[in-house]
Amino acid sequence: MRPPQALKRGTISFAVVMENDVKKKPNLKIIIEKHRDGYVAYPIGMKGVVVGQGDSYDEALGDVRSAIRFHREVFGPDSVCAESV
């Protein structure tokens, strides 16, 4: 997957990805930051802390997707704040 147009802010680049899973899961905004030593990704609107990281954009996105799935399995579908989606 190719990164979307990123917003540059200092030395960190931000990209916003909209995630939508058809299985009754709401859209989530995922922020992906590019740092000198890799990428960090985190969703907006989850209760608790969910973070993914990787050496590439795709690795960070895959890692945060996995973390989101795990978070929902453990804490249930109410772990997503509806007002933030």
Amino acid 53: pLDDT: 96
Closest by CA to 69, choosing from 23, 1, 2, is 23
Q: What pTM was computed for the model?
A: 0.68
Q: Which of 2-16, 17-31, 64-78 has the lowest mean pLDDT?
A: 2-16
Counting beta carbons within 10 angstroms of the beta carbon of residue 26, is it exposed (0 to 12), middle (13 to 18) or buried (19 or more)? middle
9 pLDDT tier (thresholds 50, 70, 90): very low
Give the whole-angstrom CA distance, residue 3 versus residue 13.
11
pLDDT tens track for 13-61: 555 555 554 355 567 888 999 999 999 999 988 888 899 999 999 999 9
Give the whole-angstrom CA distance, residue 4 versus residue 1.
9
* SS3 (DSSP) at 24: coil
